[in-house]
Amino acid sequence: MVIPHGSSVYSYHLQTAFAACPVAEFLNQDPDSAKIVPYFGAMLEGEPLPENGSVVLDAAKSGFGVTLVREGLRRPYERPAEESEANAAQNRNGLPDPPLGFGFY
């Protein structure tokens, strides 16, 4: 039996796919533990929450079934536009060759 620690929308999919994961751990994020609140707060739209001891995933939703709420997002640090563009280019074109002597990043 496997019980992923700190389950959320990302581990629920694993748990529904494998019989060896029959139980999910839910970490209650409410400061008073008085109500069930989303693990990721307001950052994700559509995050499934436990009801009566179960989590039901919507098979009609693609991917993990959640949407990132972009309003209010900010970088934790400043990043020059040139660095952002270089990173975006790498994402579009694949990673460059690794530095000499290393086979991984």
Q: Which is the catalytic residue, given 5, 35, 70, 74?
A: 5
3-state SS, 22-36, equals: CCCCECCCCCCCCCC
- Of 3, 83, 81, 8, give the one whose Cα is nearest residue 44: 8
Task: Indicate if 5 belongs to the active site.
Answer: yes
SS3 7: strand
Which residues are known to be catalytic?
5
